Amino acid sequence: MNKILNFTNLNVRVDSTLKKEAEELFKRLGLNMSIAINVFLSQSVREQAIPFEIHSDKPNKKLLKALKEAEEMEKYPEKHKGYHDIEKFLKDLEN
């Protein structure tokens, strides 16, 4: 027996460049925008989550601290020990 599908419209505002690039990608994949969005929604419902990782563009505290330290080392190299010999570096790590 055929299942009767109950379709509804979904209106979404999208940057025009992003839409064009997505349409080109989906066409190469043999999909159209509607099918691609349905795939995304179906996968989200099946997994009960967004089906990919979402990351913030903002660096976390650990990265910010490392970047600040690297800037400090670049600005004042005389305050920081450098190595040209891997054996000496490894020996200092042990101590």
Mean pLDDT over the full length of the chain: 91
Per residue, the 3-state secondary structure of 8-77, as one string, reads CCCCCCCCHHHHHHHHHHHHHCCCCHHHHHHHHHHHHHHHCCCCCCCCCCCCCHHHHHHHHHHHHHHHCH
Residue written as tokens 């101590």? 95
Q: What residue ranges do the domains of the chain occupy?
A: 8-54, 61-94
Place of tokens 């190469």: 28
Name the amino acid, one letter, at 7. Answer: F
Is the pLDDT assigned to residue 7 strictly greater than 70? Answer: yes
**pLDDT for the residue 82:** 85
Write the pLDDT tens digit of every residue in 40-86: 999 999 999 999 988 777 888 999 999 999 999 999 988 888 888 89
